[in-house]
Chains A and B, each alone.
Chain A
Amino acid sequence: MAKTNGPILEVDGVSMYFGGLKAVDNLSFTVNRGEIIGLIGPNGAGKTTVFNCVTQFYKTYDGGIYFHTDDASRVNLRDIKVTNVIDCGLVRTFQNVELVPDLTILDNLLIGAHNRFTTGIIQHIFRTKKAREEEKRFIEKAHEILRFLNIYALKDMYVSGQPYGILKKIEIARTLMSEPKMIILDEPAAGLNERETNELQKLIYEIREKYDVTILLIEHDMGFVMNICDRVVAINFGQFIAMDTPKMIQQNKAVQEAYLGKDD
């Protein structure tokens, strides 16, 4: 169960508007280190908007989002460029799998290590010893992750044409390349069959154990969320409803109301 260490992500009074529309409304919650947290809510509740604010794709939100890179230091993510969020140890996947179809699976993983490289284009052009060694080091790391996910045999195949379950795995593998502290998964089980969902559940546990990461996920598959999460945040119309253990959330009147008519 949850290793309740200190907080790793604090969402503090975040609001986000699109024109006149309030997508996220004064939302606050805290994720602790080592937890698996689910963010749930009916369609259009603003879940992906929250993710986009946290990962700094949207900068115009009100309120504060803070990330604890370790127990001692806390950064305001707003001060971090969208491309540097990954350097803090915060990395995400996307609702519609976003991979490079015309690169091999291995190369797609290496993109995840983009900011870890210390050599630049000039060193790559001349294939300096340092550049070669660095590339080799990351390839080995990618191999290790691919073996861990049981897709090592596919490493030299192109991404395009792979089944959906594999694509989802590749995306998760890519996040692991950046040595993250926290992974944000946008609907990881969507489009997976039951066997794949069960496998994913096991995988997420294993990832937490092996790589010592915190996981925040959006998911519509309630069974999956309730099984896997330590705590669940429920929102509706961008507003906070409840944050509790899966058991308590299921009994929460306000949450049931939000889902009423959806029969989930």
Chain B
Amino acid sequence: MKIIDTIMRHLKKLPALVKHHPSWTFILFGVLVSLIAFLPHIGIMRFGTMSTVYAYIIILTTVALGLNLLLGFSGLISLGTAGFVGAGALGTAVFLNMGFPLEIAVLAVLFISGLIGAVIGLFSLKVESIYLAIATLFVGEIMRQIYTNVPIFGGQELNLGDDSRNFVTFFGVWELSFFDQMHRSILFVIITAAMVLSMIIIHHIIKSRTGRALMAMSRSQHAAQAMGVSLIKYRVMAFVIATLFATFGGVLYGIYYQSVPTEQWNLDLSLFLIAMIVVGGLKSIYGTVLGVFIIHGVPNLWLKNWFGDVSYVFSGVLIIAVIIFYPRGFIHIGHDLRRAYAGLRTRMRKKVKHHGEN
């Protein structure tokens, strides 16, 4: 009992720490995550696991953070997220293959995606609810059709680097290849840093005037307008931010894997991304990470090994169960556990007292 008490006491400090020094806790979190990059080198983890599970979790987290801002804070849904992730990954590859340096390629892709995001934002002023959701699905489908049909995207997949091997060059000098194990770990650290940066940016946005305006806009449109929140400005801003993060996630995909398929940027991925933030916790940054881990990590780390194809059933049941029992997101389980523990403790105390009295 005493040990649990001590642990609980320290756990209780955690929310306060997260609350008062959020940026530092994000960085600390990033440092812990980047330790994963070393695990394969000392034989604790397979390189494949690092790449297919953890690197992908980092990339999807970056994407989902933007989507969480859109869905959780602005109450707007997008079923076209995958299209923008594809735009980031494939677009970077296309620009690199055209001979542009990496940094220019990334900026160009972000710029183009941001413009499309702004157009969707303007569109969202006219079209709402399920119509808006499906309008974004149109955008996603249009992008998917373009990726799979237009030859510039290479048909099946597009490789970064030259004919002989895949690599990306940072700052014009620093060449890193996915096929080199050391490089791959460095790339892992780079995308982790990018994820931490995204977390800090999102945190700063949501804890500012912009975040409050987005929430006011979705919770009570008229009051928001009366307080001076311009719907055009903030709708556009919400979609631009979400598409930029989706695209940035795609860029990370390109940089890390250095080989980008054209087929997988479809509705399924968009839905999974929504599932991740809903399951993890809307409006929560750590909830987003948790959601991505539950939906991508848990099946790929464990369920698939244990159950094979049937693992999908477990993932599906997991999603349904979490939503029914934790409608506000799995991240709140900590809160509930603490409460349950507190309840248990008072009951125990009462019992002890009771015994004493007898």
Q: How many chain-B residues does the 8 Å CB contact rule pick out?
A: 24
> In the complex the two chains form, is A100's CB within 8 Å of B215's CB?
yes
Q: B139 an interface residue at 8 Å Cβ cutoff?
A: no
Given contacts A83-B225, A86-B226, contact A121 B237 (CB under 8 A): yes
> In the complex the two chains form, is A57's CB within 8 Å of B208's CB?
no
In the complex the two chains form, what is the Cα distance from A85 to B229 in whole Å? 11
Q: B48 an interface residue at 8 Å Cβ cutoff?
A: no
Contacting residues of chain A (61-93) with chain B, CB-CB under 8 angstroms:
81-87, 91-92
> In the complex the two chains form, is B227's CB within 8 Å of A111's CB?
yes
> In the complex the two chains form, is B205's CB within 8 Å of A125's CB?
yes
> In the complex the two chains form, is B223's CB within 8 Å of A98's CB?
yes
> In the complex the two chains form, is A57's CB within 8 Å of B229's CB?
no
In the complex the two chains form, what is the Cα distance from A53 to B204 in whole Å? 37
Contact with B along A91-119 (1 / 0, CB 8 A): 11010001111110001001110110101
Q: A124 an interface residue at 8 Å Cβ cutoff?
A: yes
Given contacts A124-B208, A125-B204, A127-B204, contact A114 B213 (CB under 8 A): yes
Q: What's the nearest-Cβ distance from chain A to residue B231, in Å?
A: 8
Q: B183 an interface residue at 8 Å Cβ cutoff?
A: no
Contact with A along B196-240 (1 / 0, CB 8 A): 000001001100111011011001101111111111000001000
Q: B144 an interface residue at 8 Å Cβ cutoff?
A: no
> In the complex the two chains form, is B204's CB within 8 Å of A99's CB?
no
> In the complex the two chains form, is B219's CB within 8 Å of A101's CB?
yes
> In the complex the two chains form, is A84's CB within 8 Å of B228's CB?
yes
Q: A168 an interface residue at 8 Å Cβ cutoff?
A: no
In the complex the two chains form, what is the Cα distance from A107 to B225 in whole Å? 16
Q: What's the nearest-Cβ distance from chain A to residue B308, in Å?
A: 41
In the complex the two chains form, what is the Cα distance from A257 to B205 in whole Å? 56
In the complex the two chains form, what is the Cα distance from A107 to B213 in whole Å? 10
Most A CB contacts (10 A, CB to CB) among B222, B237, B283 go to: B222
Please name all residues of chain B whose beta carbon is closer than 8 Å to the beta carbon of A215 when the two chains form the complex.
Answer: none
Q: CB-nearest residue of chain A relative to B201?
A: A125
> In the complex the two chains form, is B215's CB within 8 Å of A124's CB?
no
In the complex the two chains form, what is the Cα distance from A107 to B214 in whole Å? 12
> In the complex the two chains form, is A82's CB within 8 Å of B225's CB?
yes
Please name all residues of chain A whose beta carbon is closer than 8 Å to the beta carbon of B222 when the two chains form the complex.
Answer: 57, 94, 98
> In the complex the two chains form, is A86's CB within 8 Å of B227's CB?
yes
Chosen A-B contacts, 10 in total, with CB atoms closer than 8 Å, are A57-B226, A84-B228, A91-B226, A94-B220, A102-B215, A110-B209, A115-B228, A124-B204, A126-B204, A127-B204
Q: A86-B228, A99-B223 are in contact. List 14 more A-B contacts (CB 8 A).
A: A83-B228, A83-B230, A83-B231, A86-B226, A94-B220, A94-B223, A100-B216, A102-B283, A107-B212, A110-B212, A111-B213, A114-B227, A121-B237, A131-B208
Q: Which residues of B contact A (CB under 8 A)?
A: 201, 204-205, 208-210, 212-213, 215-216, 219-220, 222-231, 237, 283
6 A-B pairs with the lowest CB-CB distances in the bound complex, closest first = A115-B228, A98-B223, A124-B208, A98-B220, A86-B228, A100-B219
